Amino acid sequence: MTVHSLAPETFGTDDDPLELDTHSPSGTYALVFDVPELTTEVGALGEQRFPAGSYVYLGSAFGTGGLRRVLRHRRVAEGDHDARHWHVDYLGGHPDVTLSRVVCVVDSDIECDVAAALADGPVDGFGSSDCDCTSHLARYETVDEALDASTAVFRQKG
């Protein structure tokens, strides 16, 4: 199984190995964010504090549109899409937060397995309202640490 680690701006372009501009593969993805210390509203979870660091959010896309969902997350992170449907929209859509990287696999449903293997996050219930996981958000000190950890776990669990 191939683990893709891509800059967010790659998706939907000629350099996109998933060809999300014309295809809709299903799969599991991780969004890697660079976050300054902040407190923000997170939907039904209320106001939450995020210590500065790098955060990995785990999601899956097996419905209509598949991994094209990553394009939506990118638009939210860029400030081009204001709708907030998921917990990650509140974090990723904050103007001080940067979407640094996307890690994903095609046709493999490993969302909960990867989430369980990553570091703990500061917000119980984040992204996990539809499963029994404590959270689908992990925190690391740096983007490099977050990227290394998520890529390694994707390879291990895939």
In the numeric block, the tokens 């799969």 are attached to 27
- Indicate whether this model's pTM tops 0.85: yes
43 band by pLDDT with thresholds 50, 70 and 90: very high
| Strands in the chain per DSSP E | 4-6, 27-35, 38-41, 47-50, 53-61, 98-106, 137-140
List the Cα angle 4/29/123 in 5-degree steps. Answer: 135
pLDDT in tens, 44-77: 999 999 999 999 999 999 999 999 999 999 999 9
| Residue of 102, 100, 89 whose CA lies nearest to 142 | 100
pLDDT in tens, 76-112: 999 999 889 899 999 999 999 999 999 999 999 999 9
Question: Average pLDDT of the chain?
Answer: 95
39 versus 129: the higher-pLDDT residue is 39
Which pLDDT score, from 0 to 100, does residue 1 have? 85
Which pLDDT score, from 0 to 100, does residue 121 have? 87
Backbone angles phi, psi at 66, to 5 degrees: 50, -140
Which pLDDT score, from 0 to 100, does residue 21 have? 87
Are the C-beta atoms of 73 and 93 separated by less than 8 Å? no
19 band by pLDDT with thresholds 50, 70 and 90: very high
126 pLDDT higher than 90:
yes
C-alpha span between 111 and 28 (Å, rounded): 6
158 band by pLDDT with thresholds 50, 70 and 90: confident
